[in-house]
Amino acid sequence: MNLSKETLKESIAHQRKDLINMLSEPLRCLAADCALVWGDRLKLDSVLSNALTGVPYSKTLYALDTNAVQISDNVNSEGFTENDFERDRSSRPYMREAVPSNGFLLSEAYISLRGRRPSLTAIQIVRDVGGNALGFIGSDFDLRDLPLTRTLYEEPNYWRQIKGDPSIRGTVFHQNRVESAMDMQIDTVLGVVEELMVYHGVFYVKLHFSSSRAVIWVMTDPYRYRLLDIEALIDPNICLAYPKIAYPADATLPAEQIRVVLDSFRELRFMDEMFYLRSVTLNIFNGIVGLTFSCDGSHYIPYEEFLKMDHSFWLGSSNATPD
């Protein structure tokens, strides 16, 4: 495992930290201004309207009493919306979270009721001069409007296991592998796949052994996949349909290891009549091998680790099963 890379939760946490740093001070200042006119709907609307542009990316501002009942109109870029005056927001996700001692909360993301889009709400407690809570200022944000504050999250490079459909797992001992068209032509299929990946720009492939098909993505057109049926997979002439491309220097999986990985797929396909490989994925850039077995369990493993295991490991002799 590469410890220098963030987990998905860590990446989200850093995004949230940057947003909190951006929003907390403007809302703290707004709460202080609102405290001076608290309880006066028209004056609250005016203060919120004047502050709207000072709260970065805010879609809507409003004031709530200590019971989370709205005491102002909604203030947005189009003006005032009166429909939510006296609205009880106590059941909304952002009002069910505990506000930290500093009086500021950035909610977890939720789906908005009206826009039905991922949203966030910032809550700031409003206090009087004596420190008593008067209520809250709420600021709604559409997730799509917020800036990307971090670099793109990278997938972790360690073995992950995901259990599949329980109904399939429960019947695995009552099933047997049925020889498919791909099984009967497996050497030809793997030879074609290797050629496409090493010399013709295919960087990602998914092989469905049981249904005898493959899905591929090519570097020159990465946003569209190609579906290859068994007729295409057993015809080496298919390579003529894809231009010759140099193997990328930044690929994690070395070109000479592709055939070794593919041959290991073949061994796992035929290793047992009950526990066998149904489908696989291989991506040369992240070097991850994806395996889905007859019990519907899936594994995502760095290719180096995958190549250290033989079929006896998957059958359970190493205290592991492919589930």
Q: How much is the pLDDT for 145?
A: 79
Q: What distance in Å separates the CA atoms of residue 291 and residue 306, rounded to the nearest whole number?
A: 10
Partners of 142 in the β-ladder: 119
Q: In terms of C-beta density within 10 A (0-12 exposed, 13-18 middle, 19 or more buried), how is residue 237 classed?
A: exposed
Q: Residue 245 in contact with residue 219, Cβ under 8 Å? A: yes
Q: What is the set of domains in the chain, with CATH numbers?
A: 8-145 (3.30.450.20), 160-317 (no CATH)
pLDDT by residue for the chain (323 residues), tens only, comes to 343 455 667 777 777 888 888 899 999 999 999 999 999 999 999 999 999 999 998 999 999 999 999 999 999 988 888 888 999 999 998 999 888 888 999 998 888 888 788 888 999 999 999 999 999 999 998 888 777 645 554 666 665 665 544 544 545 555 677 899 999 999 999 999 999 999 999 999 999 999 999 999 999 999 999 999 999 999 998 888 898 999 999 999 999 999 999 999 999 999 887 788 899 999 999 999 999 888 767 889 999 999 988 766 766 633 344 44
Is residue 202 helix, strand or coil? strand
- Nearest 10 degrees: CA dihedral of 138, 144, 147, 153? 120
Residue 5 confidence (pLDDT): 55
Cβ pair 284, 253 in contact under 8 A: yes
Among 49, 51, 92, 55, smallest CA distance to 70 is for 92
Contact 288, 155 (CB under 8 A): yes
Give yes or no for a contact between 124 and 28, defined as CB atoms under 8 angstroms apart: yes
The pair of structure tokens assigned to 195 is 């050629």
Confidence (pLDDT) at 19: 85
- pTM over cut 0.85: no
pLDDT at 177: 76
Which residues on adjacent β-strands are paired with residue 229? 213
Task: Categorise residue 135: left if φ over 0, alpha if ψ from -120 to 50, beta otherwise.
Answer: left
Give the count of beta carbons closer than 10 Å to the beta carbon of residue 287. 20
Q: Can you give the pLDDT at residue 296?
A: 60
- On the 0-12 / 13-18 / 19+ scale of CB atoms within 10 A, 167 is exposed
Residues 6+ apart with CB under 8 A from 200: 218, 239, 242, 243, 244, 245
d(C-alpha 260, C-alpha 141), whole Å? 50
**Hunting for tokens 């990316």 — which residue is that?**
57
Res 67: pLDDT: 95
**Phi then psi dihedrals of residue 26, to 5 deg:** -60, -40
